A and B are shown apart, each in its own frame.
Chain A
Amino acid sequence: MSALGISALKVLAALGLMLGNGVVMIYMLRKVLGHLHIRLGPMHVGWKGTLQTVMDVLKLLTKEDITPRAVDRWLFRIAPAVVFIPSLMAYAALPFSDTWRVTNLDSGLLYTFTALSLVPLGILMAGWASSNKWSLLGGMRAAAQQIAYEVPLLLSVLPIVMLVGSMNLGVIVEAQRGTVLAVIPRWFIMNPLFWPTFVLYSISALVETNQTPFDMSEAESELVGGFATEYSAMKFGLLFLSEFSNQFIVAALTVTLFFGGWTLPWVPEAVSNTFGPLTFMLKTYLVIAVMMWIRGTFPRVRIDQLMQLGWQRLIPISLAWIVISGVVIKVWS
């Protein structure tokens, strides 16, 4: 098959994963949040409600697509695509195993962050185009959040890049293969040097993906539905699909950077390579479950508190930590 055909198939595979992930994650969210709230979640459609989200997708597809009269027509139409496409792009650099990946990018880490940094532009576009005060406020909050937290997000992972000496996600995973003293996995989360890195990364990543407790851009108790208020049917579906997809990407990055990616400790390399994609997906969904746990237990913070935390705390701390870890890495090696 030609190179072009293979690339097209890879993009289709990423799209399939993105759509499937959306269905799985909505069900998971309902169940996890349900049990956290001591209720059952969906129970009636299918076994334990497993078919509920499939039915919801069918419902979204068949609903009427309403375009309010006052909206900025062009921007209103493009915005879901502007949110969706960067979200799909972000799958390109993720290593699902040593052979399963769309591309082997030399600067994969930077690429993934770049793709994610475009999403809030689409949200801002949707917020403006809706010509609705709540939507605009939601869009503005998303933009403010993104400007504030993109810097600490990028800075926070630099110690890992410094230690590994590469921004290739595959190389970062390879560096975490095996064990220390035959017991402790060589995952970066086990290295005390990266504990502050992990905390900084987790906070910034949650903010960047608009996750509760940082989902100021769609805070339903104050902004109705934020930027998505005026959207209906599949346009709304696309906005939400990319939201879930971004959450998946951030979780996958967490696994790649801190939890050894597709590798398994304590088992021979051949075994760990065979089950690579399975291991990767399991780890990713575990991280997603923890993110949902956070979502179910923490109250939403205020926008001014969030801005203060970003500009006055996280940026200086991550800068200081880069200097400290740079010195430590240099002295050790």
Chain B
Amino acid sequence: MTETVNGVAFLALAFATIGGAVMMLATRNVVHAAFWLLEVLIATAGLYLLLSAEFLALVQVLVYAGSVTVLVIFTVMITLRRREDAVRPFEPGWGGAIMAALFGGSITFAIAQFTSKMPAGTFPEKTPDVAAFGEKLFTTWMVPFEIASLVLLVALVGAVWWSGGDGQ
């Protein structure tokens, strides 16, 4: 019973993720693309939820869907002079084609090369709760966590400096 439900949910979410990504690239409207991005991010959160990674799914929705996408849409809307500018013509070029081919090739190569060598993961008996996750994060993974926050701090200070402040 649970197997079937999970299977159906996985198929639906996988279709939503990949289909949304394709639609995001295919649509000619920048604002629509941003909303497709939102759909992809939420579907990905659903995939995390299927793996019982409750906290990761929530943070994915809160940070990526709730904040990053809002920021993207906000920026798109602010930089559009006129409403009609949202629709861009399709301009294929050799540069783009070569980039796409290179990227696609390297990803295909990487998947073919490395996935067979990786051991299949085992699903833990009981998924750890948020408290256990926090403990792990602040003991075993303390240094990477601090480095990540330092990088973010540098980015934050840089953004404030870049935008000029009050004097200019």
Contacts and interface: CB of A to CB of B under 8 A. Distances in A.
Interface of A: 4, 72, 74-75, 105-107, 110-111, 113-114, 117-118, 120-121, 124-125, 128, 131, 136, 140, 143-144, 146-147, 150, 154, 165-167
Contacts of B38: 121
A154 B58 CA distance: 13
Residues of A contacting B: mostly: helix
Interface stretch (B59-67, B89-97, B101-109, B110-118): B59-67
Contacts, number: 70
Contact of A150 (B54, B66, B73): B66
A118 B31 contact: no
Nearest to B54: A107
A107 B62 contact: no
22 contacts: A4-B5, A75-B31, A106-B130, A110-B59, A110-B62, A117-B61, A117-B66, A117-B67, A118-B65, A118-B66, A120-B70, A124-B77, A128-B73, A136-B77, A140-B77, A143-B70, A143-B74, A144-B74, A146-B66, A150-B62, A154-B62, A166-B131
Given A113-B62, A128-B77, A143-B74, A121 B130 contact: no
Contact of A106 (B5, B32, B54, B70): B54
* Chain B interface category by residue count: 20 to 34
B15 interface: no
Given A118-B66, A128-B31, A147 B58 contact: no
B130 A75 contact: no
A165 B130 CA distance: 10
Which are the 9 A-B pairs with shortest beta-carbon distances? Answer: A117-B66, A114-B62, A114-B61, A114-B58, A143-B70, A110-B58, A106-B129, A143-B74, A107-B130
